[in-house]
Amino acid sequence: MKRWLACLLAAVLLFAACAGAAEEEKEETKVEIQESMATREGEETTGTLAENLLYLREMLENEDVQSLFRIQDVKDLASEVIWKTGVWLYQNRPVTMKILAELGVGEQDLRCIDKLWDSAERVSDGARAYNESEDGQKLQAELTALKEDPEIQKAVEDFIELSTSDDIFGIVEKIRDVVQEAVKAERMPEGEMTKEAVERQLNRSSFTGNLLMELIGFVEQSPWAKESVPALFRNENLWRVLIHLSQDNGMNKPIEDEINLIMNDPELYDFLRRTAAEAAALVKQLKIDGEQAGETTKEDAVPEETDNTPENETAEEEAAL
């Protein structure tokens, strides 16, 4: 959560800087961006984080901004700046919160971000202690293998591309259902992947195990699952991690405590529902822009023309003889 937030803020700063760099060539565009930052159709500048994400996504769709990211040097610089700025913001929480406030995020959303940040720090503290154990080191090795698995990388890309706002809302609501015990661990699974989880003895008696089972059941009903589930069905790296996470280990209690705290807080739950879908849409837009920039770069690489005039063909034939 903290790294996501930091990288998001870095992206906001980067795109604002890129708009300023284009001042001489696109003065009118810059003025429009500044006016939009100051006011959005006469509304107050203070709003929600979701509204700021929507503004950023609309800005990314601007042709002038997209044209900048078709330049390889700009793309390379952007990656470096986002990473370094993100790390710095991650390490400087007070500054990050001030930047969010300056960007127009309202007090309610700032309060929710503070709560989530506190929660993430508590989970991180628990994870550090757990990772020092033998079981924790084993899980870290399994997660590394999972992250580097090409099938998993493809599945994540498919989910980013195919997921909808309803999918994101559904995931948040499914987590709340598990917290409020609206779904029971003894409920029989319906999908092929949930049945596979039972056969592999995923521990449904633990909070994390029950949550994983419900999330598996939810996502395999989505359009994304039609593309990805067949490949994931026998992916041993994925199953190793899922089974391990479902077991009663040192991370189960901290995760359960923090998820319960978040989902039982009406203000936080509302914030997540409002923000998660827009954040997912922004990630999807970034992916689309990256693919389009890559396609444009390939198109720009014009192959060397061959002189096929009759005179040249005759000369080539003579040289061959």
Q: Is the pLDDT of residue 82 over 80?
A: no
Phi, psi of 264 (to 5 degrees): -95, 5
**3-state class (DSSP) for residue 47:** strand
Lowest-confidence range among 51-55, 112-116, 165-169, 173-177?
Answer: 51-55
Q: Which residue has the tokens 């739950």?
A: 269
Q: Is the pLDDT of residue 238 over 80?
A: yes
**Which pLDDT band holds residue 69 (cuts at 50, 70, 90)?**
low
Q: Which two tokens stand for residue 244?
A: 């391990």
Please give the average per-residue pLDDT across 158-165, as a whole number.
76
Give the Cβ contact number of residue 289 at 10 Å.
Answer: 17
Q: Which of the pair, 36 or 279, is modelled with greater confidence?
A: 279
Q: Which two tokens stand for residue 1?
A: 């959560």
Length of the chain: 321
Q: Are 232 and 155 in contact (CB under 8 A)?
A: yes
For the chain, the distance separating the N- and C-terminal CA atoms, rounded to the nearest angstrom, is: 70
pLDDT value of residue 279: 75
Question: Which range has highest mean pLDDT (45-54, 267-276, 283-292)?
Answer: 267-276
* One-letter amino acid of 197: A
**Which pLDDT band holds residue 25 (cuts at 50, 70, 90)?**
very low
Q: Is the pLDDT of residue 10 over 90?
A: no
121-125-130-132 Cα dihedral, nearest 10 degrees: 130
The mean predicted confidence, pLDDT, of the chain is 74
* One-letter amino acid of 37: M
Q: Is the pLDDT of residue 310 over 70?
A: no
Q: Is the pLDDT of residue 111 over 90?
A: yes
Q: Which two tokens stand for residue 279?
A: 């954040």
**Which pLDDT band holds residue 250 (cuts at 50, 70, 90)?**
confident
Please give the average per-residue pLDDT across 272-284, as a whole number.
76
**Which pLDDT band holds residue 156 (cuts at 50, 70, 90)?**
confident
Q: Is the pLDDT of residue 319 over 70?
A: no
60-63-66-71 Cα dihedral, nearest 10 degrees: -160
pLDDT value of residue 257: 93
pLDDT value of residue 162: 73
Q: Is the pLDDT of residue 92 over 50?
A: yes
pLDDT value of residue 21: 40
Question: What is the spatial distance between Cα 245 and Cα 200, in angstroms, rounded to a whole number?
Answer: 13
Strands (E), 208-304: none
Instruction: State how far the alpha carbon of 55 is from the alpha carbons of 23, 31, 176, 227, in Å.
Output: 20, 15, 28, 31
pLDDT value of residue 190: 73
H or E stretch covering 187: none
Q: Which of the pair, 172 or 27, is modelled with greater confidence?
A: 172
| Cβ burial 107-143 (10 Å sphere, 16+ → b, else e) | eebbebbebbbebbeebeebbeebeeeeebeebeebe
